[in-house]
Amino acid sequence: MLRILHSADWQLGKPYARVADSDKRARLRQERLEAIGRLGALARERQAACILVAGDLFDAPQPSRAQVSAACSAIGAIDRPVLAIPGNHDHGGPGSLWQERYFLEEREQLAPNLHVLLEREPVDLRRYGLPPGLLLPCPLLRRSEPGDPTAWLRSLHWNALPGGPRIVLAHGSIQEFGGGSGPADADDENPPLSGNRIDLAALPASELDYIALGDWHGLKQVAPRAWYSGCHEMDRFPRAADYRSGQALLVTLERGGPPEVEVLPTGAIGWHQIAHRFSDDADLERLEQRVADAIGSRSNRDLLLLELDGSLSLAAAAALKELLQRLEARLLRLKLRDRTSVAPDPAELRQLTERAGDPLVARVARRLQQLQEDAEQGELARLALRELHRSCTSC
C-alpha cells in the first residue's frame, strides 16, 4: 500500500493584481506559503509517505530570490519528500529556474526533501526512501507544449518496470475541457487553462493506478483514476456552485486496485459570493445579515463578490454606501457589481418639495422629480435628487 498527498498549483508569488491594497496583496501571498505548512501537517497526521505537486509550484518562471528562499524554507519544514514537476507557469526547459545556481543552493541548504522532476522517465519511489511505487512525471518544459505531455507513456515497456502502484504526475487540460461549457470557460477571475492538452483516453488505463493532475484550480475527478486536486489555497471567485478549491487529496493506492481518495481542506482564506436584490429598504438589513453570516467578525481573511440589484430610497442608499466602505476596510477585496437604482421615497420627496422655508430648494426638487421619468435625463435627475437630499439632511 502507498499513501500520497496530491496537491498542485501553489503558484507562490502570485501578484493578486486586482487587490488594490499592497498590504492585503502581501497577506494573500503569505497565506499561500503558510498553506504549505498545513499540507505538511496533514501528510504527517494522515501518514502520507510523500507530497506530490502536479505543477506550478511558482506563479512565474523567474520568481524573486526572496520567493525562492521562502518556498524552500516552507518545504524544508515538511518531514517527508516533496516531489514536484514544472507546470506552465514555472516550466522547466533549459535556462529555467530549476537549473539556476541560486535555486539549487537554496534547495540543498533549506529543502533537501524537495525533488523537482525535469525528465520524462519512470522514477522508482524507493530512490527517496519511500515504499515501492512508480512515479511517471510529465513535466512541462515550455509554457505551451506542442504535444500531449503524457504521450511518452504510450511507448513504455510496462513489464520491465519496478513493482508497486503506478502514478502519473501531469499538468495540463484534458480534452473534455474544450467544449465551451466546462472549466475552460474564462473570465477575469477564471483565466483559461494552459492549453497543454492531455488525452486521457490514449493512456493505458490498466497499467496506471492514479493520475495526479494540475492546471485546473478546482477539485475535479475526470476519470475513474484521474483527479485534479485544485489549489491548496483558493485564488479566485468560483463560477459555479459546485466549484471547490483550497484542498489536497489523500490518495491510498495498491497496484491494480482502485484508488481511495479523500478530500482534505487546506485553505484559510474565504472567497464568498452574495447576490442580493433590494425589493424595499428593509432588504438592506437582510444584506447586512447575509454578509455577517459569511465573514463573521473576521478582518483581512476574506474576499467578497457582491452583486446588488433592485431599488433603494435615498436614505437607504446612503446607509448602503457606509456598509460598503466598512466592507472595503475589513475585506481583503470587495468586488462590487452594483446595479441598484436609487430614488427618493414619497416621504423623502415631500421633505424636498414641500419646504415652505426654502422655496428655491422646493422648486428645484419638483423639477427634478418631473425629470426622473425622462429617458435621457432621468438618471442625472435621480443623482441630483440624491445630492440635494444629502445636502439638506446634513445641514
Give the residue, 219 or 191, on which the prediction is more confident.
219
pLDDT at residue number 363: 76
Predicted structure pTM score: 0.88
Task: Say how far apart CA 365 and CA 88 lie, in whole Å.
Answer: 60
- Label residue 354 by pLDDT band (50, 70, 90): low
Kindly state whether residues 167 and 281 are assigned to the same domain: no
Q: Are residues 214 and 305 in the same domain?
A: no
Q: What phi, psi does 96 have (nearest 5°)? A: -80, 170
CA angle 132, 153, 231 (to 5 degrees): 75
Residue the block writes with cell 467578497 = 304
Mark whether 274 and 256 lie in a shared domain.
no
In the chain, the amino acid numbered 126 is: R
- pLDDT value at residue 182: 45
Query: Distance between CA atoms of 323 and 326, rounded to whole angstroms?
Result: 5
Residue 57: predicted pLDDT: 98
- Judge whether 110 and 90 are in contact, CB under 8 Å: no
Q: 136 - beta bridge partners?
A: 168
pLDDT classification of 352: cutoffs 50, 70, 90: low
Helix (H) or strand (E) holding 284: helix 283-295
Strands 173-174 and 197-198: parallel
Residue at which a domain ends, from 239, 265, 291: 265
Q: Are 251 and 3 in contact (CB under 8 A)?
A: yes
Residue 388 sits in which domain range?
270-394
Q: Are residues 315 and 227 in the same domain?
A: no
**Rounded to whole angstroms, how far apart are CA atoms 395 and 378?**
26
**Same domain as 195, residue 286:** no
Q: Under DSSP, is residue 251 helix (H, G, I), strand (E, B) or coil?
A: strand
The domain tally of the chain equals 2
Q: Are 269 and 234 in contact (CB under 8 A)?
A: yes
The answer to whether residues 151 and 215 belong to one domain is yes
β-strand pairing of 260-265 with 247-253? antiparallel
265, 291, 321 - which closes a domain: 265
Whole-number pLDDT of residue 314:
87
> Do 296 and 242 have their domain in common?
no
Task: Judge if 329 and 233 occupy the same domain.
Answer: no
Pair (155, 168) in one structural domain: yes
Q: Specify the DSSP element, H or E, that contains 167.
A: strand 166-171
**Nearest Cα residue to 271 out of 19, 7, 5:** 19
Contact in structure between 169 and 137 (CB atoms under 8 Å): yes
Q: What is the pLDDT of residue 391?
A: 67
Best CA proximity match to 51, nearest among 13, 74, 80, 25? 80
d(CA 78, CA 113): 8
State how far the Cα of 174 lies from the Cα of 196, in Å rounded to an integer.
8
CATH of the domain at 164: 3.60.21.10
Please give the backbone phi and psi of residue 214, each rounded to the nearest 5 degrees, phi first. -135, 165
Query: Are residues 368 and 294 part of one domain?
Result: yes
Same domain as 342, residue 221: no
Average pLDDT, the chain: 90
Q: pLDDT band at residue 193, thresholds of 50, 70 and 90?
A: low
Residue-wise pLDDT for 149-178, tens only, equals 999 999 999 999 999 999 999 999 986 554
Looking at the fold, whether 192 and 277 belong to one and the same domain comes out as no
Please identify, among 217, 240, 265, the residue that sits at the C-terminal boundary of a domain.
265
pLDDT of residue 341: 85
